[in-house]
Amino acid sequence: MAFLDIKPVNEGHTLVISKAHYEGIFDIPGELLGKIHQVTKTVATAAKEAVHADGVSIVQQNGKAANQEVFHIHVHIIPKFTGQKTNPFNKDELKIVDHKQLDITAAKIKKSL
For 23, counting Cβ atoms within 10 Å of its Cβ (0-12 exposed, 13-18 middle, 19+ buried), the class is middle
Secondary structure (3-state) at 40: helix
- Give the residues across from 78 on adjacent strands: 57
74 labelled catalytic: yes
The residues, ordered by sequence, that sit 6+ positions from 50 with a Cβ below 8 Å of its Cβ are: 12, 105, 108, 109, 111, 112
Q: Provide φ and ψ at 102, rounded to 5°.
A: -60, -40
Phi, psi of 86 (to 5 degrees): -85, -15
> Which among 52, 74, 76, 99 is annotated as catalytic?
74
The residue count for the chain? 113
Which residues are known catalytic residues? 74
